[in-house]
Chain A
């Protein structure tokens, strides 16, 4: 009897080890990443979660009592890591626009090659976060998120640099020749992120030799 109990225990532990690496992020553990938002006397726990019901990635804020005080709209359908100050990152909290208040930075996959990056700004009036706009002034086009439609397995399709400028890999469409691979550069300005310039990949990635 003791041997059987031991056998069962060993079997269960082995199974747990076997499946430990196979857990789907957001399935057994819906929290993909955690961080803390602190500004003046506001302290919130931020979680990037996978909503099992809707199969979407969302950000959620909890107060010090563990109560949910805010939840974002769907960021996308799958987890997406970005390169943030040189490191692979799922969720970051950093002052991106230089006003002393940190913002929430997170991305999610929205299609086979496409990801969306969201930067949420805290709204003291209502204890919630609102997404900051990404604007292409020349094209008079704006969205409350940034899109990269050239997926990179090394997470370099979305890069947040140390100076808070952002680079997205994306296609530049031409009518006759098909799309060209390019980079879109954004900088924080006047409460939003402005597209500074667009360059083709060959212009930027010049080899050393």
Chain B
């Protein structure tokens, strides 16, 4: 009799466990509604920022010094060009020693493995100045192997150096003013400069954690909200994602047509505690296996245009012109400046 009781207890336990495992499996299947993982974003970003600021400062000091300087390539498949943004005449990987013989705007004039040419400063380390590895703004289509005529390339290199392609001040975490402005923004259409100034730093912060390029994130937020016009009331929902968010659900009414009659449908949209949460949640989606290939490629090439094309090709958006629309925004408003 005692053994029967034990058996009965075991069966109850097994049945309940099965029930819980079913529930757990159900939850694991619902992979689109997971909450953002909490990470110590500020600490790691701050230390990296400080390092980058030091590197920029040292590079400036280096200018005053005399060439040649010995350096090292920091980045795989770093292009050696005939002139700044000129034809690619070689590619070199991390660790390759390089002799810096001069500079021209964003580029060092170098000799490497017996070849002479120009390499982007952001990917060359010296004893005084580690490479920032910040993806530069590529003028024209030079990112995909094209090049600019000599005079144009040199001019672009010089202007890029001034405009922040090789930033004179390395991007930092959102400042107190930026954070304050963002906290007080409750939605609604903004002028382009204000929208970008608000969301650029947040997207950059997210990029530090996820690798998703900030330029693409900001462009997506612009397209999804029409410069903030439709962020689902006060849900802080930048990407129109339905379901339950970290702060619950906000109901919005939309018109559906059924059997030729318009019917008002109440849809639940994810609600977030902050704009940062909305961006992080979206970045989480872009880290799944479908879009993982595009992200891995971006980590290698730092080409945000190709990343936009990659996620589109992988199934992001029905609109056939989605990637082109993102790239147009990125170019028009130089959103690349927010990529780290």
Contact = CB atoms under 8 A, between A and B. Distances in A.
Interface of A: 1, 4-5, 7-8, 11-12, 15, 18-19, 22-24, 26-28, 54-56, 74, 76-78, 109-114, 116, 136, 138-139, 141, 143, 145-151, 168-179, 181-182, 184, 195, 201, 204-208
Contacts of A168: 318
Interface residues of B, number: 55
B317 A170 contact: yes
Nearest 6 interchain pairs by C-beta = A170-B318, A178-B226, A205-B257, A136-B320, A139-B320, A141-B320
A77 B31 contact: yes
B315 interface: yes
Contact of B11 (A12, A147, A179): A12
B223 A175 contact: yes
Interface string B223-248: 11111011000000000111100000
A84 B7 CA distance: 49
Contacts of A201: 257
A173 B254 CA distance: 17
A23 B18 CA distance: 10
Given A1-B4, A78-B29, A208-B261, A110 B315 contact: yes
B319 A171 contact: yes
Given A55-B31, A173-B325, A24 B290 contact: no
B197 interface: no
A22 B223 contact: no
B243 to A, nearest CB: 6
Interface stretch (B20-28, B41-49, B64-72): B20-28
A178 B225 contact: yes
B12 interface: yes
Contact of A19 (B22, B243, B313, B322): B22
A173 B322 contact: yes
Contacts of B4: 1, 4-5
Nearest to B329: A175
A77 B322 contact: no
A74 B289 contact: yes
16 contacts: A1-B1, A11-B15, A15-B15, A18-B19, A22-B19, A22-B26, A55-B31, A110-B290, A112-B33, A112-B242, A138-B320, A146-B318, A150-B318, A176-B226, A178-B226, A206-B257
A12 B229 contact: no
Contacts of A22: 19, 22-23, 26
Given A171-B318, A173-B322, A178 B224 contact: yes
B321 A139 contact: yes
B260 interface: yes
Contacts of B223: 173-175, 178-179
B163 interface: no
Interface string B109-143: 00000000000000000000000000000000000
